[in-house]
Amino acid sequence: MLAGDYGPATKRAMEILVALGKIYAAEGLVPVASVQVAGVSYGNLGQAGLEFIQEWAEQGARVRVPTTLNPAGMDLEAWEQLGVPEEYAQCQLKIIDAYRVMGIVPSCSCTPYLVGNRPDLGQHIAWSESSAVSYANSVLGARTNREGGPSALAAAITGRTAKYGLHLEKNRQARHLVQVNCALESVADFGALGYIVGREVEDAIPYFRIDSPGKPGPEELKALGAAMAASGAVALYHIEGITPEANAHTVLADDAVPVIVEGLDEGYEALDGTAQEIDLVWIGCPHASLRELAQVAALLGGRPTRAKLWITTARAVLGEARIRGLVETIERSGGQVVADACLIGAPVQEMGLSTVATNSAKAAFYLHGHHHLEVRFGPLHRCVEAAVKGRWPG
Ligand code: F3S
């Protein structure tokens, strides 16, 4: 591949992997079972990014392993209805086309593990999108580093990645022991916890002991990982009794630094602002599961909404939700289930949004930090109340 026997596109991909392998002193290359490619929204890529992907596709780049795509900056079908400018939309569609030419499934979701790209325990993969990386490593026990867009694409084209970092058993040990002594009652609570711990441990691996009744489900775990990957750069965490590798004898370092969390105020104070009027309520960061869509539908209870209510999800989940009548229930209240999209890469200012409420710590972190919007952050039931009243409740 490096010699160019497989064509210029594959040569270019292998050059990227070899360069990375040298930087990180990799043992060699390892075949990957799947790839998740980030770098999709036109808002993040811009014209230069669009041309880079088109050129690679025209050179003959084709993927060798199952490869899925991160969210775009808009719903690929209902963008007009959401107020996305025509010029942005056309460029976004060209990006998706170029990826499609390469053989990538245009799943446009940051929860590929909910829609068919679900690696097994111990499998090597090359994923980008920090929240998905965290879920794959921690909850599924697969092995991936936090790939960037180009390195993930290079792995997809060659079917391999450089073997270093989290691909190696010895690097999956936790060096922080996080003792959580407060109740965790919602997805937002797990997000607030993730925000606190991510800031504390930065890019290290935390090992959690959680003293709270009830077991976190997939929704809580994706919120926790997404928040730690946003406020820090955590790519792997262990939770005793929950995640597959969490065995204190094997993955907890003897000299682990203790971190004690007595409450979540620090997280809520950092992420929740003071705005009263709400333009938009955004649920689905990371993309909503079917269960979350059902919860929103139930909380709405048929009441009309005053603020916009968008729930972002994978198109396949939207399809399933439609079959179960959830989309219709949400739409009857005035909400919208938005496929393919992430608001962080969307042209939010041009869409006339200035205050957003969300139950996602990651969304709150970036909407404020990246888009400079006023953000309210709280549990799902408060967000749905905000959608109904057009004001943050309480
Ligand atoms: Fe997904 Fe965008 Fe949130 S990629 S995790 S919806 S910031």
Q: Residue 2 falls within a domain, yes or no?
A: no
Alpha helices in 60-105 (DSSP H): 86-101
Domain identity same for 277 and 362: yes
Domain identity same for 48 and 100: yes
Question: 143 φ, ψ to 5°?
Answer: -125, 115
| Ligand 1 neighbours (beta carbon < 6 A) | 70-71, 110, 129, 131, 226, 285-287, 312, 342, 344, 362-363, 366
| Alpha-carbon gap, residue 84 to 9, rounded angstroms | 33
**pLDDT band with cut points at 50, 70 and 90 for residue 300:** very high
**Region of 338 on the Ramachandran plot (φ > 0 left; ψ -120 to 50 alpha; else beta):** beta
* pLDDT above 90 coverage of the chain, percent: 94
On the question of pLDDT at 382 being above 90, the answer is yes
What is the count of structural domains for the chain? 3
Q: Residue 144 falls within a domain, yes or no?
A: yes
Q: Residue 120 falls within a domain, yes or no?
A: yes
Tell how strand 160-162 and strand 29-31 pair up.
antiparallel
Mean pLDDT along residues 108-123 = 97
pLDDT at 351: 82
| Alpha-carbon gap, residue 117 to 72, rounded angstroms | 18
State which amino acid sits at residue 344. I
Domain identity same for 45 and 154: yes
Residue 15: CATH number of its domain: 3.30.499.10
DSSP assignment of 241-287, as one string?
Answer: TTSTT--HHHHEEEEEEEEEE--SHHHHHHH-----B-SEEEEEEEE
Domain identity same for 211 and 286: no
On the question of pLDDT at 348 being above 90, the answer is no
Ligand 1, atom 2: nearest CA belongs to which residue? 342
- Report angle CA 156, 160, 163 to the nearest 5 degrees: 135
Pocket test for ligand 1, best of 111, 222, 271, 285 (most atoms within 8 A of CB): 285
Task: Show the domain range for 114.
Answer: 8-168
Q: Using alpha carbons, select from 192, 337, 174 the residue that is nearest to residue 259.
A: 174
Last residue of a domain, one of 268, 297, 320: 268
Question: 120 φ, ψ to 5°?
Answer: -90, 165
Give the SS3 label for residue 88.
helix
* Cis amide bond preceding 8, omega within 30: no
Residues 6+ apart with CB under 8 A from 254: none
Domain identity same for 304 and 368: yes
**pLDDT band with cut points at 50, 70 and 90 for residue 52:** very high
Domain identity same for 131 and 200: no
Outline where DSSP puts E strands in the chain. Answer: 29-31, 35-37, 67-69, 126-127, 160-162, 174-180, 206-210, 238-239, 252-261, 280-288, 308-313, 336-339, 355-358, 374-377
pLDDT at 265: 98
Q: Residue 3 falls within a domain, yes or no?
A: no
**pTM over 0.95, yes/no:** yes
Q: Residue 394 falls within a domain, yes or no?
A: no
* Span 303-318, pLDDT tens digits: 999 999 999 999 999 9
Q: Which atom of ligand 1 is nearest to the CA of 343?
A: 2
- Tally of CB atoms within 10 A around 361: 33
pLDDT at 394: 84
* Span 265-297, pLDDT tens digits: 999 999 999 999 999 999 999 999 999 999 999
